[in-house]
Structure 1
Amino acid sequence: MDVVGILEAASLLVSEGVATGNDITASDVWDHLAQDEWEVALGLLQELGDEWTAPPGFWDELELAAGALGLERSRQWCSWRSAETRAGVIRAELVLRPAGETFRRTPITGAGVLRPMWDIGNRTDGGARALDIARLWVEFAGDLAPGAHAPVRLLPLTAARWRHLGPGDRITLYESAVAGGTATILEVQPPSAPS
């Protein structure tokens, strides 16, 4: 299927009545497709995907389109969102410790590459602290420097172990034996598709 066909298929999945805060709808997507403005149409579909619980396959279609257009960061984002339909959404405000207080001296890459360990309150059978792994996506930025803070999204390796978290909970990031930062949970949504 070509890019136009992929974007058309994705736009057909958008529920009637879904609109962004700027009143963008699937009709606007079709207008841009008719004018061969594929990147704009893809961007609008991504915005629309944030406004409702997209069905399984929506983000997969957008990932294919972004890949065909050579938009790597957009492809990665759509892949991430597809994974969130199966694992759920966890958003948090992350504050990294300054460079001199931890082993990290360089920024964290923001596109979901880093898979740090997290203290989210789980314990082993013996009562010791158990660390859990989750990939990290920095929202609205390409990276996050030591000492900085930003909203992030987390994609747990084992989503069921994270289900007890809710807004306001604090969790701790570990890349070594020393805590590398703390995060306050902003939002938790259950999966929208079977895992």
Structure 2
Amino acid sequence: MDVVAMLEAARLLVPEGAAGEGDVTVADVWDCLAHDEWEVALGLLEELREGWTTPAGFWAELARAAAMLRLERSEAWCRWREYEGRAGVIRAELALEPVGGTSFRRTPMPGAGVMRPLWDIGSRRPDGAPDLLVACMWVEYARELAPGDRAVVRLLPLTPERWLHLAPGDRIALHETAVPGGTGTVLEARPPAPAGRALRPEPRVGA
């Protein structure tokens, strides 16, 4: 199957009422495909958010198309969203400690899912100490997150079942050492789909 067929297959999974930023619609996707603007069509499909629920296979088709177009970051994003469909969605507003604060970090954190920091999400070990859990992190709308900055991030836990208690408004903390390097507030916590447990993805791109 060629890239056009993959994009058309993904497009056919989208209802006519779906929309994205700037009133982009599925008609705009068809127009791009008709003019062989494949990369633009892929980007528009990635951005469609309103008026629909992503069906099974949508993100997998987009990931395969992105791979054929050699768009590594786009492929990684589509694979990330594909995994979220099985493992659930966790989004939070995260603020990193500034340089010179309590964190050891002096350089920006890559934003494309390659970081696997530890997180304090309120779980405790038998001795009462925080039970830190691993989750990959994707920074929305940015390639990196610098010390002292804040952004909305998406998290993919290594053990999704241990994150089910989270709800919007809960506080979490990022750890790269014993001292928190950032604090966040949960914005969205959607449980995983009931059909089986997903495997942890292997992100392929850096910042």
TM range (shorter): over 0.9
Q: Secondary structure at the match of 1:46?
A: helix
Matches within 5 A, 1:38-77: 38-48=38-48, 50-51=49-50, 52-77=52-77
Instruction: Specify the alignment match of 1:89 in structure 2.
Output: 89
Displacement, 1:22? 3.4
Matches within 5 A, 1:1-195: 1-48=1-48, 50-51=49-50, 52-101=52-101, 102-192=103-193, 194=195, 195=197
Displacement, 1:127? 3.5
Contact 1:95 1:183 (C-alpha < 8 Å) held by counterparts: yes
Displacement, 1:28? 2.2
Q: Secondary structure at the match of 1:137?
A: strand
CA distance in 2, matches of 1:99, 1:136: 20
Q: Deviations over 1:111-170 (max 9, x none)?
A: 010000001011224443211111011111110111111111111111111111111111
Q: Secondary structure at the match of 1:14?
A: coil
Displacement, 1:98? 1.3
Contact 2:62 2:78 (C-alpha < 8 Å) held by counterparts: yes
Contact 1:85 1:193 (C-alpha < 8 Å) held by counterparts: no
Q: Deviations over 1:7-28 (max 9, x none)?
A: 0110111124222353333232
Q: Given the superposition, is the C-alpha separation of residues 14 and 193 from structure 1 closer, same or farther in structure 2, using an over 3 Å criterion?
A: farther
Displacement, 1:192? 4.4
Q: Given the superposition, is the C-alpha separation of residues 45 and 192 from structure 1 closer, same or farther in structure 2, using an over 3 Å criterion?
A: farther
CA distance in 1, matches of 2:189, 2:78: 19
User: What's the RMSD between the two structures over aligned residues?
Assistant: 1.5
Q: Deviations over 1:26-66 (max 9, x none)?
A: 23212211111101110111112x33321121111111111
CA distance in 1, matches of 2:193, 2:26: 21
TM-score relative to the length of structure 1: 0.93
Instruction: Specify the alignment match of 2:202 in structure 1.
Output: none
Instruction: Tell which deviates more after alignment, 10-19 or 67-76.
Output: 10-19
5+ unaligned residues in a row in structure 1: which ranges?
none
CA distance in 1, matches of 2:149, 2:4: 40
Instruction: Tell which deviates more after alignment, 109-118 or 16-25.
Output: 16-25
CA distance in 1, matches of 2:42, 2:21: 17
Q: Secondary structure at the match of 2:107?
A: coil
CA distance in 1, matches of 2:142, 2:23: 25
CA distance in 1, matches of 2:130, 2:158: 17
CA distance in 2, matches of 1:154, 1:128: 22
5+ unaligned residues in a row in structure 2: which ranges?
198-207
Runs of 4+ in 1 over 6 A off after TM superposition: none
TM-score relative to the length of structure 2: 0.88
